Amino acid sequence: MKKKLKSEVKEFFDNFIKVLKRPEMAILPGQLAFFFVLAIVPTITLISYGASLLNLSTDVIYDFLTNAFSKDIAAMLLNIPESSYSGVGLLITLIIGYVIASNGPASIIITSNAIYGEKQTGFFKRRIKSIIMTIFLVLLFIFMLVVPVFGDKIIELFEYVDLNSSITDKVTTIIRLLQGPVTWLIMYFFIKILYTIAPNKRIKSKNVGYGAIFTSISWILITYGYSFYINNIAYYSTFYGSLANIVMLMIWIYILAYVFTIGMALNYRKEEVELEKTGSINIEKK
């Protein structure tokens, strides 16, 4: 058992090093991060609109951004003026925002095809797929809003019934502990979906779990680590002044995009290694 685990760990790090040495790793994460930055505000607008329809509070997003960065960044991203449009005008505005937000998933498709060596599809076909992927991204964030709200409602119910203060305290503690892992599990599930549908080739869901686990864990650790660094060590305002908030946000997004690209490349490398072991890769190359 220990020997097998040691072998798997060694294989992972071997694959990781080979992925980092790929020449496209110097280009693809930056391209992906650029389109993520372009898509972030329209995406937040869509999430906020969806949350309002479901009567959900967006305080979770604000608290996350405040804890991860600062109140200034949270205010900058969430200070979206209420639209004066209604009816057809509002619908057109949402459609335009949705198309702009789909630039992020469109870049994921281009990145995945470059990694898997697949031909890029035409603009319209890629755009349709990216719009579908944007639905999954918006749903991901809405689910991440629902989990804390749902947990808080259960706690409020126990407090309202007031059966026993000891039981209420235990339930509250358990729910608080579960909210994190449940949110992480939802994030893993949606990352796995994106990895599966992004390339222009059929990929089995089980073949992308390798990279999805790596990306999910890395995103969680990086977010907490970067949050600590920003709030306790770094002083970007010394160099960038009023642009410091934007710089902090862009660096974080670039790191996440880099990790996302590594996870995708790890999936491809894992598939490549399995083909090498079975000898199937030689047949395919011929």
Taking the C-alpha atoms of residue 74 and residue 64, their distance in angstroms, rounded to an integer, is 8
- Residue keyed to tokens 């026993």: 164
The whole-angstrom distance between residue 73's C-alpha and the CA centroid of its chain comes to 18
Q: Which of 157-161, 181-185, 234-238 has the highest mean pLDDT?
A: 181-185
With H, G, I as helix, E, B as strand and everything else as coil, classify residue 24: helix
Whether residue 12 has pLDDT greater than 80: no
Q: What is the pLDDT of residue 273?
A: 73
CA–CA gap between residue 183 and residue 148 (Å, rounded): 9
* Band (9; pLDDT cuts 50, 70, 90): confident
136-164 pLDDT tens trace: 777 776 666 666 666 666 677 666 666 66
Question: In angstroms, rounded to a whole number, what is the distance separating the alpha carbons of residues 242 and 245?
Answer: 7
Binning pLDDT at 50, 70 and 90, where does residue 179 land?
low
Q: Using the 8-state DSSP alphabet, how is residue 118 labeled?
A: P
Give the pLDDT confidence of 30-77 residue by residue, as tens digits.
Answer: 888 887 777 776 777 666 766 666 666 667 667 766 766 667 667 766
In this prediction, residues 3-32 reach a mean pLDDT of: 77
Looking at every residue in the chain, the average pLDDT score rounds to 75
282 pLDDT tier (thresholds 50, 70, 90): very low
Helix, coil or strand: residue 207 = helix
CA dihedral for 149, 151, 157, 158, sign (positive or negative):
negative
Q: Read off the pLDDT of each residue in 254-282 and give the average, rounded to a whole number.
A: 79
End-to-end CA distance of the chain: 37
Query: What is the model's pLDDT at position 64?
Result: 67
Token pair in block for residue 273: 């290694």
* Comparison of pLDDT for 286 and 81, the residue scoring more: 81
Residue boundaries of the structural domains of the chain: 2-276
What radius of gyration, in Å, describes the C-alpha atoms of the chain? 21
Position 259 pLDDT exceeds 80: yes
pLDDT class of 286 with cuts at 50, 70, 90: very low
Residue with tokens 């790596």: 214
Q: From its phi and psi, is residue 21 left (phi > 0), alpha (psi between -120 and 50) or beta?
A: alpha
Within the chain, where are the H helices?
2-20, 28-53, 59-68, 71-78, 88-101, 103-116, 123-161, 165-197, 209-232, 237-240, 244-278, 280-285
Reported as a single tens digit per residue, the pLDDT across 85-117 is 455 666 676 677 777 778 888 888 888 888 888
Residue 36 and residue 257 in contact, taking contact as beta carbons nearer than 8 Å:
yes
The per-residue pLDDT for 285 is 41
C-alpha span between 235 and 249 (Å, rounded): 14
CA distance 194 to 218: 16
Measured from the Cβ of residue 283, the count of other Cβ atoms closer than 10 Å reads: 9
Average pLDDT over residues 10-23: 78
